[in-house]
């Protein structure tokens, strides 16, 4: 099966966990887009939910699909959030932010009763940081100093660019510094330490936020949770 088919498999499977009347956190990325497109179809057939998007990109897709939207101020408790990830380890800790939406994604996940992650099996790793650099959102002011401080953690740091020389700007008006650690030994501590640097808004480590990971694999859909793996 092609990668896109595995993403679709996982993205659509997550919809089985959404019930009528729920407030649903809508993640960002190409895997969750499969969830959004199918959810749009369900909504058009009369299924009633309200979504809270994690990015301007997702808000645009939700509007195209006529998915009713709300926000955290109106609905501070989210029933379930479905989102993608860049890496998932055996503790269901994640690296997120490949799509640049990590700050809003973490706020939405933190305020959700349940968080479900959808990925294809290439995202499952032995240790975080192996395949994907850790995105860190920083304010523009003093960003080169923030970059130097991040380098003291032993990683190679690059300013994310959309095209050569043109920095990527997040939905919050900030920069992203991609930090290549090769391997992150202690993600729990690193999440805390990075967020203590002045100028850092948040980083893409998601620790103890996830309830289940739905994995699209050649063997079918696997569901990982902390207690057991269900095939």
Positions marked catalytic: 105
User: What are the tokens at 225?
Assistant: 């949770």
Total residues contacting ligand 5RP by CB under 6 A comes to: 17
Least CB distance to ligand 5RP at residue 46 (A) = 28
Out of 9, 23, 28, 176, which residue is the one contacting ligand 5RP (CB under 6 A)?
28
**CB closer to ligand 5RP out of 27 and 199:** 27
> Minimum distance between the CB of residue 38 and ligand 5RP, rounded to whole angstroms?
15
The nearest distance, CB 231 to ligand 5RP, in angstroms, is 22
Contact between residue 20 and residue 68 where contact means Cβ atoms under 8 Å apart: no
- Please pick, from the candidates 8, 9, 25, 31, the single residue that binds ligand 5RP as defined by CB under 6 A: 31
Which residue in 83, 87, 137, 178 binds ligand 5RP (CB under 6 A)?
Answer: 83
> Which among 31, 37, 211 is positioned nearest to 120, based on CA atoms?
31
Alpha carbons 42 and 161: distance in angstroms, whole number: 37
Binding status of residue 97 toward ligand 5RP by CB under 6 A? yes
């Amino acid at each position: 099966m092609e990668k896109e088919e595995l993403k679709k498999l996982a993205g659509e499977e997550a919809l089985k966990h959404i019930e009528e009347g729920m407030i649903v956190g809508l993640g960002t990325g190409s895997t969750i887009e499969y969830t959004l497109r199918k959810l749009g179809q369900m909504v058009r057939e009369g299924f009633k939910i309200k979504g809270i998007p994690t990015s301007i990109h997702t808000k645009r897709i939700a509007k195209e699909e006529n998915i009713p939207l709300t926000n955290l101020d109106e609905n501070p408790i989210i029933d379930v959030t479905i989102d993608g990830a860049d890496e998932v380890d055996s503790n269901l800790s994640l690296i997120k932010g490949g799509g640049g939406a990590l700050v809003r994604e973490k706020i939405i996940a933190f305020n959700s009763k349940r968080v479900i992650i959808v990925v294809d099996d290439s995202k499952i790793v032995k240790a975080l940081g192996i395949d994907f650099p850790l995105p860190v959102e920083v304010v523009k002011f003093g960003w080169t100093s923030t970059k130097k401080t991040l380098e003291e953690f032993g990683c190679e740091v690059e300013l994310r660019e959309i095209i050569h020389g043109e920095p990527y700007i997040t939905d919050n008006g900030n920069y992203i510094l991609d930090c290549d650690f090769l391997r992150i030994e202690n993600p729990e501590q690193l999440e805390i330490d990075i967020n203590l640097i002045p100028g850092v808004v948040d980083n893409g480590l998601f620790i103890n936020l996830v309830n289940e990971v739905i994995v699209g694999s050649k063997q079918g859909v696997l569901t990982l949770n902390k207690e057991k793996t269900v095939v």
